[in-house]
Structure 1
Amino acid sequence: MRKYIFLYLVCAVTLFSCQSSTQTEEIASDSTAVDLEEGVEMIPIQTPKGEFRVFTKKVGENPSMKVLLLHGGPGMSHLQYGNFKDYLPQEGIEFIWYDQLGSAHSDQPEDSTLWTIERFVDEVEQVRRALGLNKDNFYLLGQSWGGMLSMEYAFRHQDNLKGLIICNMMSSLDEYEKYAKEVLGPQMPPEVFAELMEIEKNMDFENPRYMELLMEHHYPLHVLRMPLDQWPAEINQTLEQVNPNVYVYMQGYSEFGITPGASLEGWDVRDQLKSITVPTLVVGGTHDTMDPKHMEWMSKEVANGRFLLCPNGSHLSQYDDPEHFFPGVIQFIKDVDSGSFGK
């Protein structure tokens, strides 16, 4: 059951996609396969279960503007940021693709005790040190689960940060579930939403109707606002590379909240946002799975924040609203670097 929902989604995307299998990047089953790529560094990570290696790949070079990217999921891939190469290098901004432990090109141990927020925060800190990132150059950008992780990192280690960018992530999963069920769900045809809620109530996530309905009425509207046959290759590859053992353990199966029993259930850091004093950009999309009004509120709760709304964007605003996403992110990074942010 753990892998079924992901296999169904991958098959559905592949069915609707016009891309041939030759366009799909081969999934590395052995992290050594990527060692020789230019810019790649496999970083050793110490964990309570021993040493593992995680994939990073540096693009560009800038001594004062280095952006470490935290992907979503959990258990997905740095490829969700594949199009960053088309925007940041041209502005002289260095960035680092990074697969978290359990994801894509990084080692994938089968031990659920490793899938905790605290251990992932420690992993990010080890990656930071290995890459030589510090308060004079280190920007942390996280989207969705990566946004959660970036907040949690800032709560513990913001003295190491130059800037923080939280993309498409609310500060409370209960509020996310409320928004999904009270705002987004009712935008669907009533009979569709009722059927989805009945499936969720019965925990019948193996039912193929669940993904069929989401693929038609949810994903192309709130995850990536493009017809399925136009989804970028990087996003299709991200879906192919997802590690369901990490995703399901932490997030669960539901697209309208956190499945009861998943380890992230109840996560809420609203009352901690005021402790973040580092310059912070919060990014939301008008059509996001996350409430843009909540994310605007977050930008005011942190001590030194700015809000960027992507009016045409959904959960993956870098792909369906790059015209607003990238200029806003780039301007934030440059404003912080020049010392003009907040002035």
Structure 2
Amino acid sequence: MYTRLLSVLLLVFVISACQQNQPGVHSPDLSYFQPSDSGLQTGGVRMIPIQTPKGNFKVWTKRFGNNPQLKVLLLNGGPGATHEYFECFENFLPAASFEFIYYDQLGCGNSDNPNDTSFWDLNRYVSEVEQVRTALGLNKDNFVLLGHSWGGILAMEYALAHQENLKGLVISNMMSSCPDYGKYAQDELAKQMDPKVLDTIRQLEANKDFGNPKYMELLMPNFYTKHILRLPLDEWPEPVNRSFGKMNQSLYVTMQGPSEFGIAGKLVNWDRKADLPKITVPTLTIGGAHDTMDPEHMKWMATQVKSGTYLHCANGSHMSFYDDQATYFNGLLDFLKKL
């Protein structure tokens, strides 16, 4: 009996040793899962105090992994969505030992919501990101900022104000000019829609009847599943639905405007095309062939910054990290590894 047990244990040991020597089979990097702070553990969650001209608030962050050399802070889009639609990053970045940090901007998700539209301001959000960076101890030796959609606008603005703190920058699915974005939506995306459907949408927008259920009923199959996330609505990932279900409409409308065809809010005249050469840190721009944003513009952006790379997601739309996932994450991880 004991001889048989010994034989089994020996066989297990041999198999385990062989697996460790096989290409592609790795032992987990235990240091990646070590706490970065002593004391009470909260799963990496920290509420960061934010100072504003109208008082102090707190924003929610959550660290995933532990890598002193590279930490990616995620800026969600909307404006007004939450960190939750980024949850697919958990299937890719930890395997490469890259730390990343979820972050709900003020007014979003788990963060405080002052319910005051004066807070929905681009410069104030830049100040907020800088306060979050300081609190988390991010610096030029480890700090990578990834902004998606509206988060890409915020990332560009942050880089232009504080790039001395950055190791790298990722601008995902966002153009450097809102007027150009609006023109692309009108001249290219609108023309791809059924003329009868477009006429009805135009009438609803002209009447400012954005709350009419018909508006979203038409946009969902004719715009969202073609240019936001190219999957049937019943197959949209749960983290996306959860995030979009918590959208801060006050923040969204104030900054973006109520229409899906271009920008009509505070960002209507935002344009940083001429300032892109001022960005000197390594920068990755990402665009999708079916994006709400012009992929040619995002490709051009990579030629304007000092050290730019463009990643094209041929099957992707605005959320290419879902509908062209392999291309998106292979390109992103390659960029991060080179840093």
* TM-score under structure 1 length normalisation: 0.86
Which residue in 2 is equivalent to 1:276? Answer: 279
1:215 aligns to 2:220 (yes or no)? yes
Q: Distance in 2 between matches of 1:315 and 1:141?
A: 15
Per-residue CA distance 1:286-335 (angstroms, 9 max, x = gap): 11000000000111011110000011110001111111000101110111
Structure with bigger gyration radius: 2
Aligned Cα RMSD in Å? Answer: 1.2
Correspondent of 2:240 among 235, 239, 257? 235
User: In structure 2, how many angstroms separate the alpha carbons of the residues matched to 1:82 and 1:324?
Assistant: 17
Aligned to 2:180: 175
What residue number does 1:313 align with? 316
Partner AA of 1:163 in structure 2: G
State the distance in 2 between where 1:291 and 1:182 align: 11
> What amino acid does structure 1 have at the position aligned with 2:304?
E
Which residues of 2 match residues 298-309 of structure 1 at below 5 A?
Answer: 298-309=301-312
- What is the aligned counterpart of 1:225 among 222, 225, 230? 230
Task: Please list, as runs of the form range in 1=range in 2, the aligned pairs for 1:22-61 lying within 5 A after superposition.
Answer: 37-61=42-66
Relative to structure 2, which stretch is displaced further, 179-188 or 151-160?
179-188
Matched, 1:110 2:127: no
Deviates more, 1:287-296 or 1:191-200: 191-200
| Identical pairs, percent | 55
Task: Report the equivalent of 1:152.
Answer: 157
Measured against aligned partners, the alpha-carbon deviations of 1:189-247 in whole angstroms (never above 9, x if no partner) come to: 11111222222233221222211110110111110010000111100101111111111
Taking the aligned partners of 1:146 and 1:220, their CA distance within structure 2 comes to 21
Structure 2 unaligned blocks of 5 or more: 1-39
**TM-superposition CA deviations, 1:36-70 (whole Å, max 9, x none):** 74110011011111111000000011111100000
Q: Does 1:135 align with 2:140?
A: yes
Match of 1:330 in 2: 333
- How far, CA to CA, are the matches of 1:195 and 1:92 in structure 2? 49
Give the AA of the match of 1:146. G
Going from structure 1 to structure 2, the CA distance change for 1:120 and 1:279 (only over 3 Å counts) comes to same
CA shift, 1:73, in A, is 1.1
Partner of 1:203: 208
Matched pairs, number? 300
Gaps of 5+ in 1: 1-34, 337-343
SS of equivalent to 1:165: strand
| Bigger RCO (CA 8 Å, 6+ sep) | 1
State the alpha-carbon separation in 2 of the partners of residues 182 and 197 from structure 1: 14
